[in-house]
Amino acid sequence: MKRLPLLCARLAGLLWISIATGCGGSGSTEPDPGSATDAAFPGNDASEADAHDDGSDAAQACSPSSGAVDDRGITTVGETHSGVPLKACHTDQWRFVAAKGSALRVEVKAATADLAVRIGWPDDPVMASPLAKATASAGAPASVDLTPERSGELVLTVASDDPLPAVYDLSLACEGGCDLEATRYPIVLVHGWCGFDNVGPYDYFYGVPEYLAQKGFNVEVAHLDPYNSTEVRSAQLAVQLDDFAAKNRALRLDVIGHSQGGIDSRRAISSLGRGHLVATLVSVGTPHAGTLLGDIAVGLVPGPHDSVVDLLINLMGGATGHESDSQAAFYTLSEYYMRGQFAAENPDDPGVTYVSWGGHCCILLGECGDTCDPELMAAYEILKASDGDNDGLVPVSSMKHGTWRGLVEADHLDEIGQVAGITDPDFDHKEFYLRLARDLAKDGF
């Protein structure tokens, strides 16, 4: 008879939960039941009956290895979820995006059973090494203060080892550094030809990595051969994508590629199998259908061969002493290669979102929003005669791949803030890349 009060309390708690989850609280935000998996805890109904059939008044605890995980999806800072039902012996998994330098408070209020709250990295789904943990019980909420070590996605789990269902409230609030921004996945900048004197890949996107980091974004910069074939550069990139994901404990990455960097990224995703690591590829000024300058430089079509080669070599910095192959780079960017072999061998990955941007310039002031840099005028004239609007190296028609977002008033060098941060007065390259980062965040990447 001493165990009768415990059994009555259990039944009363179950009745309260049935009312709470069946009727719903007024004004509460309850997650869509469809967002959770339909798979119930194995043997859940039988285990509850067995607990009474063996003569025990107290229900038995769940087996640690038998619980199921329900994916609750993305929640955002500032959002509150009330009356969230937790299935017996289940774990609810939430994901949220936080910026490095911000101060967050996560609070979980349990209605009945004790609930284990864990926060950790996306690559640690079982929370073997959580960043923070707490226990919520009836009358004693779990409150976790968190300052993220890096910007991006984190995982929050709420679990119960009780064989009875539970109900909880969840809130995620920002208490400091709330103006900082973040994308769900780390941003990887991939450079194109980079041989400007004393300008290596870490300065190629002039001032951009630092500017985005000041805003809160997590940015990595790929370091590829200054100029070489896409086969060589994409292989280098594939290894670095692996490293960036591991370093940041991230499941996926957001890649922004300029010029040949967009081509290298496509091959790394497709032929080299990194589609599972890349959530989205944003290309800027990338010759997806090639550029006639490449065909002329390797003698595939008639044209001012020597002049074009000299132009491209000057832009690429000439022989730098690296194990690079300028002719291979020219061929890689030719219309012949890009529209034939490359397109056939590198189909888009259906699991990756492809977005493209471009720039354009003109010779005479007033014809468009940007006058071509002197270094690009000869190439602009060649492409203008054959393909029309261009940025001094790549035709606008060749820049379009996936979802086309449009043109900016910038030539091929202005698109990355070169040289040395000097661009057209009407184009701010840092603000342009900030826009790209904010678009990624808005789109859930």
Q: What number of residues does the chain have?
A: 445
Copy the structure tokens of residue 313.
């070599």
368-374: Cβ within 8 A, 24+ apart: 368/409, 369/409, 369/424, 369/426, 369/427, 370/409, 370/410, 370/411, 370/414, 370/424, 370/426, 370/427, 371/424, 372/411, 373/411, 373/413, 373/414, 373/419
Report yes or no: 73 and 94 within 8 Å, Cβ to Cβ.
Answer: yes
Domain at 187-442, CATH homologous superfamily: Alpha/Beta hydrolase fold, catalytic domain (3.40.50.1820)
CA 186 remoteness from chain centre? 5
CATH 2.60.120.380 domain locations along the chain: 27-42+64-175
204 or 279, which is more confident? Answer: 279
Residue range 211-261, pLDDT digits in tens: 999 999 999 999 998 878 999 999 999 999 999 999 999 999 999 999 999
The CATH number corresponding to 27-42+64-175 among 2.60.120.10, 2.60.120.380, 3.40.50.2000, 3.30.2420.10 equals 2.60.120.380
Band of pLDDT at residue 269, cut at 50, 70 and 90: very high
> What is the C-alpha to C-alpha distance for residues 51 and 14, in angstroms, rounded to an integer?
15
pLDDT in tens, 140-178: 999 999 999 999 999 999 998 888 899 999 999 999 999
Q: Tell how many helices (H) and how many strands (E) occur in the chain.
A: 14, 15
Per the prediction, the chain carries an average pLDDT of: 83
Pairing of strands 166-176, 80-86: antiparallel
The answer to whether the peptide bond before residue 352 is cis (omega within 30 degrees of 0) is: no
Proportion of the chain in helix, strand, coil states, percent, rounded to 5: 30, 25, 45
Residue 328 pLDDT:
85
361-411 pLDDT, tens digit per residue, is 998 877 888 899 888 898 999 999 999 999 999 999 999 999 999 999 999
Say if CB 356 and CB 401 are below 8 A apart.
Answer: yes
Examine the pLDDT at 283 and tell me if it is beyond 60.
yes
Between 114 and 56, residue with greater pLDDT: 114
Find the mean pLDDT for residues 42-63: 42
Q: Which residue, among 91, 84, 145, 94, has the nearest Cα to 122 in the 3D structure?
A: 94
The encoded tokens of residue 380 equal 């602009």
- Going by the DSSP 8-state scheme, the letter that residue 221 receives in this structure is E
Q: Say if CB 379 and CB 287 are below 8 A apart.
A: no
Handedness of CA 50, 56, 58, 64 (dihedral sign): negative
Q: CB within 8 A of 359, min separation 6: which ones?
A: 284, 285, 370, 391, 407, 408, 409, 410, 411, 412, 414, 415
Per-residue pLDDT at 317: 53
Chain segment 58-95, per-residue pLDDT in tens: 456 676 555 689 999 999 999 999 999 999 889 999 99
Residue 10 has a pLDDT of 38
Q: Which residues belong to CATH 3.40.50.1820 in the chain?
A: 187-442
